[in-house]
Amino acid sequence: MSPQIVNDGVGLGTVIAVVISWSRNRSILWAIFHGICSWFYVIYYALTRRRDDGVEPRRLALGTIVVILGLLALFILVCWLLFSH
């Protein structure tokens, strides 16, 4: 039997997504929905944040987007390899 590394709980991506959503929308329903989306919403926010969010939006170079997508694909592959039986 392999040791259990992660117990039930809320992940870092969920927490970041909820905080970003709450600071942008001030809506509990949106915060819950974005918490379910987790890292997908965090990445979406990083790519599309508005000027009125208090930070100047930065344009990401194509290379940066390719690196982000590559890391996401690597993460999915590692999770698939670890958790598939």
Q: What is the mean pLDDT of residues 20-48?
A: 89
**Where does 1-85 show beta strands of DSSP type E?**
none
Cβ-contact 17, 39 below 8 angstroms: yes
**pTM of this prediction exceeds 0.75:** no
Tokens at 63, concatenated:
């290379």
- How far apart, in whole angstroms, are the C-alpha atoms of residue 72 and residue 20? 20
Query: What residue spans define the domains of the chain?
Result: 12-83
Kindly report, residue by residue over 54-77, the tens digit of the pLDDT: 655 566 666 667 777 888 888 888
- 10 Å CB burial of residue 13 (0-12, 13-18, 19+) is middle
